[in-house]
Each structure stands twice: as structure tokens, then as C-alpha cells.
Amino acid sequence: MKKRIAAIVVTYNRLNFLTRCIDALRRQNNADMDILIIDNASTDGTKEALASMAAEGVIVYRNTGENLGGAGGFNYGMRVAAEAGYDYLWIMDDDCIPDEGALDALVQADADLDGQYGFLSSIAYWRDGSPCNMNIQRVGLHEKLTDYTTRCVPIIMATFVSAFFPRARVLECGLPIKEFFIWSDDLEYTRRLSKKYPCYAVNTSRVLHDMHSNDKVNIATDAVDRLPRYRYLYRNEVYVYRREGLRGWVYLITRVAFHVLKVLRSSTNKKEKIGVILSSFFDGLRFHPSVEYIKEDNTP
């Protein structure tokens, strides 16, 4: 009996990216999957534009009714797919464009590993073919992936730009924490799984992350009107790394000090930006969200 796969795409007001993502999913060599679109209440005509595809069964469309952020969208979509009985959940952002063999490679890795893993992660590359800096997997708390030749490389953290989860792991370990809203929800979730199971980057599974820039987010150079987003970043990172003991605290304190220094050296609006970094760090100390689990009576 073939395993059922749900490709889960979270979107918000980026119809031009989303349609390219859907096209790429429909071109997968392994077509034995359903495409589940989680729309965070877009206002750019996404619902109307996808209506015909939904009516024809090309996609399954779900509107959350409000903007839940990336974290809430993935929480919502993974719950829907797991409760529907899909065996595997393949999740990604709307600006992720999978190569035609991306899913095949993940399915093959699943078979080779006999399902004995927590999650699998594709290699995300940027427009020029180089690794996408936002999505390089962690092989340790401070070490990033550098081995792009071994087919399956052990990792402990990855982003949600093409992550592949067995349903059984989602039932056991729960859902992404929706209260994160944006940023670091993927690091927390993949680390939650890697503490229990070996997890892997699959070098033969490749996706384009079609970002405008290959630079990492940087509060020192970002516009002041984007500062509210950084409150989630610094708060959420405290939650993720405080659970790693002394090494995690050393990382957090060093990172905060480094970012404050960067703002002091090369930024405008210094007072506002340093205020966001420090206040969000202390917010993280008081941040104690609960992990949601799918009730057993929803399983087939």
C-alpha cells in the first residue's frame, strides 16, 4: 500500500511566489502526493486565484481566517494533514521552489533509513546556486552543515524550507509552537525531534529558496519599520537555546552582545534597535508556551 504524502505550503500575500511553488510541486517525479495550501488570510486575491485549482482537486485549500504567522500556519497545516491520515508531511514556505527530484530523494532516503529518523531536510540553494544562508542546517548548536557530498548527513536543526516528517513523529512529539508567530519555530521543532531521533540533511534533495537577497536578517541594517518582527526573533531564540543548558546560555549571551555591538558600530536608530534586542531577550525568559498534541481519537 502506497504511503500518502501531503505537501504543505504556508502563504500570506505572495501569490506570485505561491503559483511558482505549486507549479514546481506538480512537476515532482513522485506525484503520489496532495498539495495542501494554508492561506493565512491573504488579501491579495490568493483565494480567488486558487479557486479553480481547488475545485478541480489540484490542491486542497484552507484559509486560516487570520494571519497566524509562519509558525501558526505550519501548526494549522500539520494538524490538518496528520488528522487526515497522511503518512508524511512535507512542509515549505511559498517561496520554496523544489527541484523535480526533490521529493523522490526524500522518499528514497526514508526507505534507506527504514523510517528510523525524526525528520529529513532538503538542501536550499539561492538564485546563484550557492547555499541559501537562511537555511543552512545545524550539525551542532554552533556548527553549520559543510558536507554537501554525503547523501544523508546527521543534523540537529533545520528550517521549514522543505522539511519532511513522518506522521508518527508528529503524533509523538507534537506540533510547532504557534505562539512563536515567526522565526525560530522551525529550529525549536526540529531540535525537539533531534533530541529523540537521528535526523538528516539529504543532499540529493534540492530546493530553490527564491529570496530577494542571500543575506541573513540583520537588525543593524534593517529598516526601523521592521523592528517589531525582531521582537519575535530574540524572544523565540531565548526559548530555543535556554533548553540547551550552559552551552545554550553562552550562545545567547554572546549573540545578544554581538548584535548590540553591531548596532552601535553600523546602524541608525540605535536606541530603538538596542531596546528591541534587550527587551525581547528578557521577554524570552518569561516565555513559556505549551506544545500542542494531536488527540489520539483523531487518528485513523
Interval 82-109 mean pLDDT:
97
38 in Cβ contact with 77 (< 8 Å): yes
Give the per-residue pLDDT at 298. 44
Residue 132 parent element (H or E): none
Using the predicted structure, report yes or no on whether residue 278 has a pLDDT greater than 60.
yes
Give the per-residue pLDDT at 142. 87
Q: How confident is the model at residue 216 (pLDDT cuts 50, 70, 90)?
A: confident
Using the predicted structure, report yes or no on whether residue 46 has a pLDDT greater than 80.
yes
Using the predicted structure, report yes or no on whether residue 295 has a pLDDT greater than 90.
no
Report d(CA 32, CA 42) in Å as an integer.
28
Using the predicted structure, report yes or no on whether residue 84 has a pLDDT greater than 90.
yes
Write down the number of H helices and E strands in the chain.
Answer: 9, 9
* Mean of the per-residue pLDDT values of the chain: 95
Interval 50-58 mean pLDDT:
96
What proportion of the chain, given as a percentage, has pLDDT over 70? 98
The residue ranges of every structural domain in the chain are: 5-214, 224-285
Interval 220-241 mean pLDDT:
95
**CATH for 5-214 (3.90.550.10, 3.40.50.300, 3.40.50.720, 1.10.287.130):** 3.90.550.10
Half-sphere exposure of residue 159, counting CA atoms within 13 Å on the CB side?
20
Q: pLDDT digit string (tens) for 125-178?
A: 999 999 999 999 999 998 999 999 999 999 999 999 999 999 999 999 999 999
Give the per-residue pLDDT at 251. 94
* Residue 290: count of CB within 10 angstroms of its CB: 8
Report d(CA 14, CA 23) in Å as an integer.
15
Using the predicted structure, report yes or no on whether residue 299 has a pLDDT greater than 90.
no
